[in-house]
Amino acid sequence: MRSTLWKGIQWLGPPLGLFVIVLIGWQLATSLFRVPAYLFPSPWMVFQAAQEKRQELLQALWITGSAASLGFLSSLCAGFVISLAFSQSPLIRRSCYPYAIFLQTVPIVAIAPLIINWFGFGFRSVVIVSFMIGLFPIITNTTTGMLAVDRRFLELFEIYNASRWQLLWKLRVPNCVPFLVAGAKTSSGLSVIGAIVGEFFVGFGSDSHGLGYYIMLSSGQLKTDVLFAAVLTCTLLGLSVFVLVNLVSQLVLRRWNTL
Amino acid sequence: MANPATNPLVACDNVGLTFPGPVQALDGTSFQLQRGELVSVVGPSGCGKSTLLRLIAGLIANTSGSLQIAGQSAMEARRHGLHIGFVFQDATLLPWRTIQDNIRLPLELLRVPRSEHAPRIREALELVGLLDFARALPNQLSGGMRMRAALVRALITRPELLLLDEPFGALDEITRQRLNEDLLALWQSQKWSGVFITHNVYEAVFLSQRVLVMSPRPGKLIADVPIPFEFPRTPELRGTAEFAKLAAEVSSLLRRISS
């Protein structure tokens, strides 16, 4: 019991210590040099703004969190299905891969007008941006996992005249799980970024006043303390998604740890 | 037509394999495996022993000569219901499946009715003393236990032909000897025909009725040494002068080809 506590302190101590030091330095610097609050608010002001706007920020956190989760889950499902197709034929892979790369490399700003044209401003469009940004890592990782099957496993299945279907569901799909999990880790983070960035560009519907919207709004109004509070809330969202996905991945990978 | 009972199960006539390149992997290999016979193939590493085994399994096709199993090509024989068991160099168990589900795999792939699975798996596990480890994952078992599981996985379809590709090469000497004895007991009670690849001369002499010696680059059979010891063979056989004499004979053949 004591030793786990000690371990916890050893783990959390250094980053927490640094956090406190930075906080104090920041507070001192802003009050010593009289930095204007619209340029760089002190931590105390950020804290006060967060307290004052707690209701709105929590609401925004919920909206952005939902958009990111929906975007992430749909990229997980779609990415998996696309990888199933990719694993079945080199022709499909070769024909579709350039478009998957297009999806990865095209700046969201460039297609934001298109998304707005098709789906309007609002929550739905934010989910679509989050989905598009999260999709690519799932496709590449999962496809790799389905193809990176040990040759001897393929021979084993061949010995028993396994059908393409059996090969897919009993070998390729289970084999790709660790890769899928790795892809999901990357993709979950990207989906959060996608949702926030999406809110910058397409999130002006009344149903999508998420964190991204808040950041834009408070930046325009020079309410830098609110802006900081919103950014911190984004970090909180990203952090909780990271922790959640890592927990799930550890549960799933327990069975795959010999690979 | 000759009587199928006296027909050899495997008949290799001048079998050769040249990979594009060209790399000659196997050159004019001829031998016959009678039904119920257990034969070892020894040779230095890289001499094409594994290639020969994969040809018999119908995993690759020969480029010259004729290879017939029960009067058909290897691939046809397998597709037409000749049951083959293949034991790989290491256990090649699917890491995400428990031991019993690994042993179940061939039954699933061959679509054996579900109701037959449980008793057959139980019997198989009992045979090699793994009943208590039915629900363990492969990485929780020792190398010897994993290999036992791989052995009964290959035997669960009641194969007519068992192909073993240096299965015990990575095990320590005591475990290897014990598994040799287990393998012989299984062979005597189940009466399959077997081809056993190894580079261990003692193992080859102990296990088989004939030892085929292969030379490297390109692989070619250069000697066929009969091993006249009676069955059942006991561990004490390893200490006898006749055993040492035969092992020395095979060793000197091997030394001659590698110099």
Average pLDDT over residues B2-31: 80
Q: A-chain residues within 8 Å CB-CB of B110?
A: 160-161
Given a contact cutoff of 8 angstroms between Cβ atoms, the answer to whether B180 and B203 are in contact is yes
CA distance B86 to B89: 10
Burial of A216-240, coded b for 16+ CB within 10 Å and e otherwise, reads: bbbeeeebbbbbbbbbbbbeebbee
- pLDDT value for B256: 87
pLDDT greater at residue B253 or residue A208: B253
Average pLDDT of span B143-147:
92
Q: Which residue has the tokens 């952090």?
A: A239
User: Residue A183 half-sphere exposure, CB side, CA atoms within 13 Å?
Assistant: 28
Q: Among partner residues A155, A162, A259, which is closest to B109 by beta-carbon distance? A: A162
Q: How far is A155 from chain B (nearest CA, A)?
A: 7
> What pLDDT is stored for residue A259 in this prediction?
42
**Complex ipTM value:** 0.91
- What pLDDT is recorded for position B184? 92
Give the Cα separation of A246 and B43 in Å (integer).
49
DSSP A31-53: HHTT--TTTS--HHHHHHHHHHT
- d(CA A191, CA A83) in angstroms, rounded, equals 19
Q: Using CA atoms, how far apart are residues B163 and B187, in angstroms rounded to an integer?
A: 12
Residue A256: its chain B contacts at CB < 8 A?
A: 95-96
In the stretch 137-166 of chain A, residues with CB closer than 8 A to chain B read 150, 152-153, 155-162, 166
B96, B142, B147, B160: best to mutate for the A interface, most A CBs within 10 A = B96
Domains of chain B are 6-19+33-71+161-259 (3.40.50.300), 95-159 (no CATH)
For residue B140, the chain A residue with the least C-alpha distance is A258
Give the chain A residue whose CA is nearest to the CA of B76: A161
Strand partners of residue B68? B11
Q: Is the dihedral of CA A151, A155, A156, A162 positive or negative?
A: positive
Q: Where are the alpha helices (DSSP H) in chain B?
A: 49-56, 74-79, 99-109, 114-127, 143-155, 173-190, 201-207, 241-258
Q: What is the predicted pLDDT for the residue at A166?
A: 95
Q: Which residues of B touch A169 (CB under 8 A)?
A: none
Six token digits for residue A5: 């506590």
Whether B227 shows a pLDDT value over 70: the answer reads yes
Domain boundaries, chain A: 1-34, 42-256
Does B5 score more than 80 pLDDT?
no
Cis amide leading into B232 (omega within 30): yes
pLDDT at A1 (0 to 100): 58
pLDDT tens for chain A, residues 1 to 259: 567 788 888 888 888 899 899 989 988 988 888 878 788 888 888 898 888 888 889 999 999 999 999 999 999 999 999 999 999 999 998 998 888 888 778 887 788 888 888 888 888 999 999 999 999 999 999 999 999 999 999 999 999 999 999 999 999 999 999 999 999 999 999 999 999 998 888 877 777 688 998 899 888 888 888 999 999 999 999 999 999 999 999 888 887 764 4
pLDDT of amino acid A15? 85
Question: What pLDDT, on the 0 to 100 scale, is given for residue A257?
Answer: 65
Count CB-CB contacts under 10 A for residue B22: 8
At the fourth CATH level, which superfamily is domain A42-256? MetI-like (1.10.3720.10)
Instruction: Look at residue A193 in the predicted model and tell me its pLDDT.
Output: 92
Which one-letter amino acid corresponds to residue A247?
A: L
Query: What is the C-alpha to C-alpha distance for residues B245 and B252, in angstroms, rounded to an integer?
Result: 11
| Nearest neighbour of A161 by CB, restricted to B79, B92, B108 | B79
Q: Encode B36-88 in three state secondary structure.
A: CCEEEEECCCCCCHHHHHHHHCCCCCCCEEEEEECCECHHHHHHCCCCEEEEC
Count CA within 13 A, CB hemisphere, residue A35. Answer: 17
Q: What is the pLDDT of residue A3?
A: 75
- Residue A201's pLDDT is 85
| Rounded alpha-carbon distances, angstroms, from residue A85 to A82, A93, A142, A148, B96 | 5, 8, 11, 15, 23
Q: Which residues of chain A lie closer than 8 angstroms to B138, CB-CB?
A: 258
What share of chain B has pLDDT > 70, as a percent?
Answer: 97
Rounded to the nearest 10 degrees, what angle do helices A123-147 and A90-105 cross at?
140
**Please, what is the average pLDDT of chain B?**
89
pLDDT at B1: 41
